Amino acid sequence: MRFTRTSKALGIVAAATLALTGCGAGGGGSTDGASKAAGDPNKVITAYSNEPQNPLLPANTNEVYGGRVVNLLFEGLRSYDANGKAVNALADSIESSDAQNWTIKVKQGQKFTNGEAITAKTFVNSWNFAANSKNLQNNGFFFESIAGYDDVSAVTKSTDASGKSTSTPAPKADTMSGLAATDDSTITVKLAQPEADWSLRLGYSAFYPLPSAALADPKTYGENPVGNGPYKFEKQGSWVHDQSISLVKNADYNGTRPAKNGGVTFKFYTDPGPAYTDLQSDNLDITDVLPSNALKTYVNDFPDRNATKAVATNSTLNIPGYNPNFQGEAGKLRRQALSYAINREEIAKVVFNGTRTPAKAYAPPVIDGFKEGIKGSEVLKFDAAKAKDLWAQAEKIQPYDNSKPLQIASNTDGGNKEWIDAVANGFKHNLGIQAEIQPFAKFAEVLNLRKSQQLPGLTRAGWQGDYPSLYNFLGPVWATGASSNYEKYSNPEFDKLLKEGLAAKSTDEANAKFNQAQEILFQDLPGLPLWDQARPIVWSNNVVKAETGWNGEILYYGITAK
């Protein structure tokens, strides 16, 4: 018995060194275990993490390891509950009659842990700081909808002799004209154009309030941040670089996310393998990153101590518009044929071990407003005969250039090769064309080629929701000129529907428009939706219960310890 367990576990860890994993996912088989005890409210939880990439400033933190710390240190105007529903936190009310002019009432008497009061002015200053191009905040563009953002975020572009252009920050104003604090408790916001779901953004970290010390010296502040959230730094220098960050409960916190434990210590691991071993010996309390081979075994290794929940992350297979094989009427038929030729159900089951679910639309089901059965979404069903038929129709219009294999570009770490091989085989068998992976060692290489429009074939793409909104899965990825629309897809009709959705009076009305916009995507198929992700987590014997939020981040404040 013991022997089998050893050899099995050994396999897991050994394989973990071979594959650098990203996040995996699991479907079903999750049980919370009957939690009878309320838990020890003073015990400190140790959690898997890694070195944050930036000083801990909310508006500068756009990666998961810094993000999870920032989210515990701060409380914004709103916060997201476990299901991704935005609820008011520091905001008493957020109102708008025309989706363009917003009035936000800020709760009074709130303080940072250093005693500094939080007023409407605090938010206005923080947001102006974050949006200012001079301050080089990674999340600056989250304020792009506010009137006057263009002036505050202005840059000058210069082109050198070799034609390479460089942007240098050159703000034309220090404050956004559309943003004002009329008194201590009121923020008024004027957006450049109506945006019905704008208030959904307000729970995102970029919108957190900052104390004045942060604005004066962001870099120093980012080493020992002072916030207003459920946790605070244990002491100055709690962030031991490359090793750990220790947070303790903020006793003065009275918001929507009260800490049910005494603190959280994030231990840094460069590889998920050792963390998994630590969890097996109760040397670590919780992880949300499993070594890729543990995806097959974690349910058995941690019976009653695992949970898997769908998260707001999806994957697509993008087809660049500049590829002559996929242009015009024939191209449209071929895109459909490719989509029909992918057996999403089987790949999700066999390759991902049931840890991903076949996509049903351009946004995952966990997002509010998600609709199944959008017109045109039948292309997501595997249908070999239909695929063949469509391909044959396209051949009649314009013959396909089969001289070179159809390449699918991807970085090969993180277990991408397996599913791409499966997809390529589907193309080969069902369409009779040559197809293969175009492997890259690093994600950055693919990204470079995507940006410069040089990929010869298809490419893998993924999107993780910034905040739980349907628009967030469509606008930044598929709108004309959008920041992450690397394949430069453009359809004025789609843009128009998005705009109409943003201008809608209610979220329901807006979501109806966004789903209508997806019909256009299903006609054009600039990318083929592949699957949506779930996030498995496992915990040690010291933990009673844990769960993840809408975006897959563990709700650390809700963890109860034995």
Partner 1 sequence: MLRFILRRLLQVIPVFIGTTLLVYYMVFALPGDPIAALFGDRQPPQAVIDTLRSQYNLDQPFWVQYGLFLKNLFTFNLGNDFTGQPIAASLARVFPVTAMLAIEALAIQAIFGVLFGVFAGLRRGGWFDSTVLVASLVVIAVPTFVLGFVFQLVFGVQLGWAKPTVGANANWATLLLPAVVLGLVSFAYVLRLTRASVSENMNADYVRTATAKGLSRPRVVLAHILRNSLIPVVTYLGANLGSLMGGAIVTEGIFNVPGVGNKLYQAVLRSEGPTIVSIVSVLVLVFVVANLLVDLLYAWLDPRIRYDQ
Q: Which residues bind partner 1 (CB under 8 A)?
A: 2, 6, 9-10, 13-14, 17, 51-55, 62-63, 133, 136-141, 153, 155, 164, 166-169, 219, 240-244, 267-271, 273-275, 277-278, 280-281, 283, 440-445, 447-448, 451, 461-464, 466, 476, 483-484
Using the minimum distance from each CB to partner 1, give the nearer residue, 53 or 327: 53
Q: Which of 65, 2, 451 minimizes the C-alpha distance to 272?
A: 65
Classify the phi-psi angles of 474: left when phi > 0, otherwise alpha if psi is within -120 to 50, otherwise beta: alpha
The least distance separating partner 1 from the CB of residue 476, rounded to whole angstroms, comes to 8
Using the minimum distance from each CB to partner 1, give the nearer residue, 250 or 472: 472
Q: Which residue has the tokens 């244990």?
A: 234
Q: Could you give the angle at the alpha carbon of 351 between the alpha carbons of 405 and 436, nearest 5°?
A: 5
Query: How far is residue 2 from each of residues 9, 91, 297, measured CA to CA in Å?
Result: 11, 55, 16
CB atoms within 10 A of CB 441: 10
Using the minimum distance from each CB to partner 1, give the nearer residue, 51 or 81: 51
- Rg of the chain, C-alpha, whole Å: 24
The least distance separating partner 1 from the CB of residue 266, rounded to whole angstroms, comes to 10
Instruction: Report d(CA 390, CA 330) in Å as an integer.
Output: 9
The least distance separating partner 1 from the CB of residue 59, rounded to whole angstroms, comes to 10
The least distance separating partner 1 from the CB of residue 433, rounded to whole angstroms, comes to 28
Instruction: Report d(CA 311, CA 465) in Å as an integer.
Output: 9
The least distance separating partner 1 from the CB of residue 160, rounded to whole angstroms, comes to 9
Question: Does an H or E element contain 274, and which?
Answer: helix 272-280
The least distance separating partner 1 from the CB of residue 286, rounded to whole angstroms, comes to 15
The least distance separating partner 1 from the CB of residue 15, rounded to whole angstroms, comes to 10
The torsion angle over the Cα atoms of residues 174, 177, 179 and 184, rounded to 10 degrees, is 80
Using the minimum distance from each CB to partner 1, give the nearer residue, 36 or 164: 164
Using the minimum distance from each CB to partner 1, give the nearer residue, 203 or 274: 274
Query: How far is residue 62 from each of residues 53, 349, 499, measured CA to CA in Å?
Result: 9, 31, 26
Handedness of CA 524, 527, 531, 535 (dihedral sign): negative
Q: How far is CA 65 from the centre of its chain?
A: 13
The answer to whether residues 325 and 334 touch, using CB atoms and an 8 Å cutoff, is: yes
The least distance separating partner 1 from the CB of residue 162, rounded to whole angstroms, comes to 11
The answer to whether residues 57 and 225 touch, using CB atoms and an 8 Å cutoff, is: yes
The least distance separating partner 1 from the CB of residue 92, rounded to whole angstroms, comes to 31
Using the minimum distance from each CB to partner 1, give the nearer residue, 194 or 526: 526
The least distance separating partner 1 from the CB of residue 142, rounded to whole angstroms, comes to 11
Query: How far is residue 248 from each of residues 79, 229, 234, 240, 310, measured CA to CA in Å?
Result: 20, 11, 5, 15, 29
Handedness of CA 88, 106, 218, 239 (dihedral sign): negative
The least distance separating partner 1 from the CB of residue 466, rounded to whole angstroms, comes to 7
- Provide the angle, in degrees to the nearest 10, between the axes of the packed helices 328-340 and 507-524: 100
Instruction: Report d(CA 396, CA 125) in Å as an integer.
Output: 62
CB atoms within 10 A of CB 98: 11
Biggest CA–CA distance in the chain, Å, is: 74
Neighbouring residues of 104: CB distance < 8 A, sequence distance ≥ 6: 77, 91, 93, 94, 95, 120, 123, 186, 187, 188, 189, 202
Using the minimum distance from each CB to partner 1, give the nearer residue, 100 or 137: 137
Using the minimum distance from each CB to partner 1, give the nearer residue, 138 or 188: 138
Using the minimum distance from each CB to partner 1, give the nearer residue, 231 or 239: 239
The least distance separating partner 1 from the CB of residue 213, rounded to whole angstroms, comes to 18
Using the minimum distance from each CB to partner 1, give the nearer residue, 56 or 504: 56
Using the minimum distance from each CB to partner 1, give the nearer residue, 82 or 155: 155
Using the minimum distance from each CB to partner 1, give the nearer residue, 272 or 457: 272
Q: Give strand pairing partners of 509.
A: none
Kindly state the tokens that stand for 111.
């303080």
Neighbouring residues of 86: CB distance < 8 A, sequence distance ≥ 6: 78, 79, 80, 199, 200, 202, 203, 467, 468
Using the minimum distance from each CB to partner 1, give the nearer residue, 170 or 397: 170
The least distance separating partner 1 from the CB of residue 31, rounded to whole angstroms, comes to 23
Q: Which of 39, 203, 35, 214 minimizes the C-alpha distance to 122?
A: 214
Using the minimum distance from each CB to partner 1, give the nearer residue, 35 or 483: 483
Instruction: Report d(CA 464, CA 444) in Å as an integer.
Output: 17
The least distance separating partner 1 from the CB of residue 417, rounded to whole angstroms, comes to 18
